Structure 1
């Protein structure tokens, strides 16, 4: 056994016995350290002579080969622990992995419904449901999709405006006043369909809510929780025949994506969503590009391969 292999084996024994890590974790460490030893061998340096420049080059090679930033970060974590152990035993003067970072992974695209699926959910009516609860759920869906509200903003709505109210709907003005992240207030326009759904809910809400100030209440007459909306929406999307279970934030993403597709106005979408930073809103331009790419593939003659 050469010197590098002996060091790796000693370290694996340390994490297996001294740190009592799970067998699967030790196995993953062994794979990562085998890759490290292979890289060092190819570079012609022993493990104890590896420099930060070597590690950065190997990171670039892994990234170029398609490994994700998260995967590289996990590998670097294993290498960093190995060199920390070598340092504690006087084998190296410094940790060559200490200041090396993995490439940032791209921000995942938010999940948004297609326009047809969103409309199917908004138009869905459950004939077997309690008509009062059906009116409530329809109004909630309209606010989530039609206004892009967060679920926390929806549950915080009160029936009437007031200094103690976190949010409320001005039916006459067609506006929702909500308290968003960072306790920032914003005003969002409420569309005709949402206003109609809200009026239908308010017409039957009284006997269920009593003196409760919350706009949306459950069977017991208390303010509806965010978890209840999650569960009701998941059930409603299944009843509407959607292939993907829908959660409240998916409707917010759908709102942003569909408004951007129609208007192309990124600043307006930023204001409607209440984003402090335009960079947060820009992720929806990637969804918009996907929409355009699909339209191109479906319609443009040059998008079709010749047989």
Structure 2
């Protein structure tokens, strides 16, 4: 290995006190750099910006993920910064070179039958109050596409200090979303029935002065982490084969609604997205659904 690289790794180990695993990762990155320079050929201290651009492109063409390329470039950048402080190079050839932008992963959504199975599941719960509460939570998350923060912010009744509340007579939920923006979303019949049932029992659990719609066994407002824990447990009981969290139900709401209606603008409004480009990710999910239907049904879909 090049002497500059050896000394830099010693610096990282002794002065920066990097962990052995991190040092090994940096060593691999420097070995790649040395290999590229040897093939050029060019001395490490003579590497220029155009060399780094070319090598980053080669890493990308070899199938290295954008995040992995970013790690390589970060290691190389640190090496040349260290060489620059020692007066061994005049410029850092990695400055300004960026890894390819990583594509955003598709949000995970439940299949329709899985979402319905979760909503219909009634837990073998020792406390029927908790079963009624958790059933209502699932119905609102999946039936209205609420964020978990919007859900726990709901009060049992409207009031001057209420962040949000349910209006069962109007079949609507008034929520406070991101950026303190209010919106009103329709509430389906299944969610209304679940809410009515929970409200009949809520007083047995809630403290007299607690305004929250959803309360814990202590009688105080549920926290997002408590909702996540209860939802995870309920999904396991329902036999779902995947980890379920509140935002997955929001994704499922949007995906299933878009599959049925095709109305992207309406889904944007229901989700409370400020920009429709945020909502457009669900069009990719919808295409995935169409692809599965095509592959399963069209006689020309499967090619040998």
Q: Same fold (TM over 0.5)?
A: yes
User: In 2, distance between residues paired with 1:45 and 1:134?
Assistant: 69
Give aligned pairs, total: 303
Partner residue, 1:155: 152
RMSD: 1.3
Give CA deviations for 1:25-45 in whole Å, capped at 9, x if unaligned: 222211111111111121121
In the TM superposition, residue 198 of structure 1 has moved relative to its aligned partner by 0.6
Tell whether 2:217 aligns with 1:219: yes
- Aligned equivalents of 2:223, 2:17: Cα separation in 1: 42
Runs of 4+ in structure 1 displaced over 3 angstroms? none
The residue that corresponds to 1:249 in the other structure is 247
Change (3 A) 1:23 1:219: closer
Report the equivalent of 1:137.
134
Report the CA distance between 1:226 and its aligned residue: 1.3
> Secondary structure of 1:165's match?
coil
Structure-2 residue corresponding to 1:24: 21
Q: Which residue of 2 aligns with 1:260?
A: 258
Give the corresponding residue for 2:98: 101
What is aligned with 2:2? Answer: 5
Alpha-carbon distance in structure 1 between the residues aligned to 2:219 and 2:251: 30
- What is aligned with 2:111? 114
- Residues 1:179 and 2:180 are matched in the alignment: no
Contact 2:140 2:146 (C-alpha < 8 Å) held by counterparts: yes
Judge which range, 261-270 or 9-18, deviates more. 9-18
TM-score of the aligned structures, taking structure 1 as reference length: 0.95
Aligned to 1:84: 81
Return the alpha-carbon distance in structure 2 between the equivalents of residues 26 and 158 of structure 1: 52
Tell me the equivalent position of 2:43. Answer: 46
Cα distance in 1, alignment partners of residues 15 and 21 from structure 2: 16
Displacement after TM superposition at 1:194 (Å): 0.6
- State the 1:166 CA deviation: 0.2
Structure 1: segments with no counterpart, 5+ residues: none
Contact residue 125 and residue 131 of structure 2 kept, 8 A: no
3-state SS of the aligned residue for 1:301? coil
1:207 deviation in Å? Answer: 2.5
Whole-angstrom CA distance in 2 between matches of 1:107 and 1:212? 40
TM-superposition CA deviations, 1:246-274 (whole Å, max 9, x none): 11111001101111111111111111111
- What are the Cα deviations for residues 189-219 of structure 1, in whole angstroms up to 9, with x where unaligned? 1011111111111112122223321111122
